[in-house]
Amino acid sequence: MFLKILIANRGEIAVRIIRACREMGVSTVAVFSEADRESLHVNLADESYCIGGPLSKDSYLNMSAILSAAVATKSEAIHPGYGFLAENAAFAKLCAENGLAFIGPDAETISLMGDKDMARRTMGDADVPIIPGCDLVKDVSHAKNEAEKIGFPLLIKARSGGGGRGIRLIHSMAELDQAYQTATSEAAAAFGDGAVYMEKYLHPVKHIEMQLLADHFGNVVCLGERDCSTQRKNQKLIEESPAEIMSADTRQRMIDATVNAGIAAKYRGAGTIEYLYDQAGNFYFMEMNTRLQVEHPVTEMVTLIDLVKWQIRVASGMKLDFTQKDIEFKGHAIECRINAENPYQNFQPSWGKIEMLHIPNGPWIRFDTAIYQGYTIPPFYDPMIGKLIVHAKTRDEAIRKMKAALCELIIEGVMHNASFQADILSAEEFVNSTYTTDYLEAYL
C-alpha cells in the first residue's frame, strides 16, 4: 500500500478521498489554489501546498506545479478525483515518467476512451451495441452526406466534449450548416479540439450507466447500474440505483456487456460505461468515463463496496478480493446534487459566504460536501457544493427519506436547489420510474 498520496483536486471529492486515505492509514497531501486557502480539503489533509492562482489553468490544471508538489513531498501516487486532470492522458503519462502512480487507468486507455469517436468504434468492435451514427466528419458537405444516412433529429457531438457540454441537437438539414459551424468553433474554444462526430438522437431514452472495477491481474467486475436520466442541459441532477424499470435479464446483459468491454479495453481501476436505454430494453454505448464518477456513492450504498478505497488498492497492486458472483445489491440509493444556483432564475450560479449551515442527519443519510458554516464559496469552480445521498430498503422509502433530508438541509447565504430537487421527487414520471432524459426540461 502507498504511504502517501497527493490529491489533485478540490471540493467534496478531495475530502472524500482524504477520508478514505485516513481510514487506510495513508498520509495525504492536498494542493490548493489561492482562492481555496480556507477550503476544507486543505485543513483535513496531513500536508497542504498552494500551487497557483484561482483560475483552474493556473492551479488544478497546472501539471508541472502538481507534479513538483508530489515529488517534493515524496508522494507515491496521485489521485485526480473527477474533472480537472482526471481524464488527461498526458498527465497520466507524466505521472508514470516521474515514478508516481496515477490512480486510474493508464494513459493509452484514457486517450482511447477520451476520444469519444474512437471509443465508439472500439466498443463496436467489441460487440457492444453503439448508437447509430458516424465517425468524425471532415467538413459541412461530409456532415450533410452522413446526416442523410443517419436521419433526423441528430446530435453533433464534440470528440473531446465532457460535462454535458459540446452537444448540439438538430432537427433538419436546414439547420445543419449553421449548427456545424457553431459546434466546431465552440468545441475548439471549450476543449481545444474542434473535431465533431454525429449520432442519431435517441428519444425517449434513459441514461443508464454501469460501474466497472478492475485490478492489474485481469479481474473485472461490474457493480451494477445507475439511472442518471434526471438531467438539465445534459447534466445530471439526480442519480439512483437500481433502475427499477429494468428487468433482471436486461441487467444481466448489461453487466456482461460491460465486463466484456472492460476486458477488451484492458481496463484498470474504477470506470463507468454510459449507455442510452430505450423503452424496449435495448441499450447502446454512449461513452466511457475513465475515472471516479460524481455519483459513485449510490453504487457504494447498494453494494457496500468503497470505490475510492478500491481505486487506491488496485493502483497499489492489490488484487480484487471478490468476484462478480460475490456482489450483492441491497436496497435502493438516491443522490441529489446540491448546486449553488437559483433554480427560479434560470439556474444562475450563486456565490458567497455560508452564513448558516445545518446538514441533515439520521439513519442512512450521507452528505458529501466541503462546505462549512462561515465558508465563502469562490466563484471560480463548479457550482456543485454537495451531494445528498440516502439509502433505504425500498425505492418509496428512499424517496421519502430524501424528501425529509432535503427539507432539513439549511444553507443560508447562497441560493441552492434543495427545494427544487424535492419538487422533482414528486413529479409523476419520477415517482413511477419511467422518466427519460428529456422529462426535466418538459417539467420545467
Query: Which residues belong to the active site?
Result: 291
Note whether 241 binds ligand ADP by CB under 6 A: no
- Among the listed residues 12, 287, 335, 341, the single contact to ligand ADP using CB under 6 A: 287
- Among the listed residues 83, 360, 383, 413, the single contact to ligand ADP using CB under 6 A: 83
Q: Residue 199 binds which one of ligand ADP, Mg ion, none, with CB within 5 to 8 A depending on kind?
A: ligand ADP
Note whether 276 binds ligand ADP by CB under 6 A: yes
Write out the binding residues for ligand ADP, residues 346-405 only, by CB under 6 A: 382
Give residue 82's Cα distance to chain centre. Answer: 7
What's the min distance (Å) between Cβ of 337 and ligand ADP? 8
Listed ranges 62-70, 145-153, 170-178, 268-276: which one lies at the site for Mg ion (CB under 5 A): 268-276
Note whether 437 binds ligand ADP by CB under 6 A: yes
- Among the listed residues 12, 106, 199, 227, the single contact to ligand ADP using CB under 6 A: 199
Residue with the three cell numbers 493502483: 315
Question: Residue of minimal CB distance from ligand ADP?
Answer: 162
What's the min distance (Å) between Cβ of 235 and ligand ADP? 6
Q: Residue 225 binds which one of ligand ADP, Mg ion, none, with CB within 5 to 8 A depending on kind?
A: none
- Among the listed residues 82, 102, 197, 439, the single contact to ligand ADP using CB under 6 A: 82
Write out the binding residues for Mg ion, residues 271-300 only, by CB under 5 A: 274
Give the number of residues in contact with Mg ion, rule: CB under 5 A.
1
Residue 42 vs 288, nearer CB to ligand ADP: 288
Residue 380 to residue 357: CA distance in whole angstroms: 21
What's the min distance (Å) between Cβ of 197 and ligand ADP? 10
Q: Residue 381 binds which one of ligand ADP, Mg ion, none, with CB within 5 to 8 A depending on kind?
A: none
Q: Where does this chain bind Mg ion (CB under 5 A)?
A: 274
Q: Where does this chain bind ligand ADP (CB under 6 A)?
A: 82-83, 131, 155, 161-165, 167, 191, 199-203, 205, 207, 231, 234-236, 274, 276, 286-287, 289, 293-295, 382, 437
